[in-house]
Amino acid sequence: MLSANDLTELIQGYDRDPAKSYSLGAQSYTDERFLTIERECIFYRSWQWVCHVEKLREPGSYCVTDVQGRSIALVRDTTGTLRAFYNVCKHRAHELLKGEGKAKLIVCPYHAWSYDRAGALKGIPDQRNFPGIKPEEYGLIPLPLVERHGMIWVLPDPGGEIDLDALDRLLGDPTESTRLGDNGRRTVEEKLTWNGVALQMQRRYEEILRQS
Ligand code: FES
């Protein structure tokens, strides 16, 4: 938990006017407690871009992504509907899918419970060991998903508030993004915090200096 003192220290140097504002305290970039709060208050409550729709054109195609520590599976089902689930088995919480590919059934690598592409539980090996189990109560946990201008967005909280207006405001004019396709993904591994990167990308100041 953060104390009032922590917060006071954190915002020293901050001013609403960017011209008068200095860096936040170093702990805001390094303290795990801040990251926990950022995840709960920002990332798990807002739409997160996950991939281009081209990656999931075919029925049965899937890909797995990680949103701030939550593994999420995206699947195109038999009817062509795109779906998102927590990538976690309802039996003993083993991870289900890895990477990307195509699958008729989602089969858990641990004890082989299987789910269809809409997330319904379809098979339990040796079901006699689970007397009274109701498969309809053990489907994968679905997450809100939308497609906008060829991009797929997920809300990483099954009970989260579905505010599509907020997403559309964020995206603004879609003209540019509709011309984009999926040309692959490049992963760059660096020891950086998300907020350090975001601040650099947002600042007009660096851009002005680069151009001068
Ligand atoms: S954890 Fe998935 S089948 Fe047991």
Sketch the domain layout of the chain as residue ranges: 1-41, 48-179
User: What is the pLDDT at residue 9?
Assistant: 79
Average pLDDT, the chain: 88
Mean pLDDT of 13-23: 82
Q: Does domain 48-179 have CATH number 3.40.30.10?
A: no
User: What is the pLDDT at residue 58?
Assistant: 92
* Nearest atom, ligand 1, residue 89 CA: 2
Rounded CA gap, 156 and 146, in Å?
Answer: 12
Structure tokens at 195: 């907020």
- Secondary structure of residue 102 in the 3-state scheme: strand
User: What is the pLDDT at residue 176?
Assistant: 66
**Alpha-carbon torsion (46, 28, 197, 189), positive or negative:** negative
Give Cα separations from 122 to 127, 139, 174, 201 (angstroms): 11, 9, 39, 45
Backbone φ and ψ for 143, nearest 5 degrees, come out as -120, 145
- Is residue 50 packed enough to be buried (19+ CB in 10 Å), middle (13-18) or exposed (0-12)? buried
Residue 157 Cα to ligand 1 middle (Å)? 22
pTM listed for this prediction: 0.83
* Nearest atom, ligand 1, residue 111 CA: 3
pLDDT digits (tens, 9 = 90+) for 120-163: 999 999 999 999 999 999 999 999 999 988 889 999 999 888 88
Which amino acid makes up residue 106?
I
User: What is the pLDDT at residue 31?
Assistant: 87
User: What is the pLDDT at residue 169?
Assistant: 85
User: What is the pLDDT at residue 96?
Assistant: 98
74 contacts 49 by C-beta, under 8 angstroms = no
Nearest to 144 by CA among 39, 48, 76, 43: 48
* Nearest atom, ligand 1, residue 113 CA: 3
Cβ < 6 A, ligand 1 pocket? 89, 91-92, 94, 108, 110-113
Rounded CA gap, 46 and 18, in Å?
Answer: 25
* Substitution site in 71, 89, 121 for ligand 1 pocket (most atoms within 8 Å of beta carbon): 89
In the structure, what pLDDT confidence band is assigned to residue 22 with cuts at 50, 70 and 90? confident
Mode of pairing for the β-strands spanning 145-148 and 70-76: unpaired
Mean pLDDT of 26-39: 87
In the structure, what pLDDT confidence band is assigned to residue 210 with cuts at 50, 70 and 90? low
* pLDDT over 80 (residue 204): no
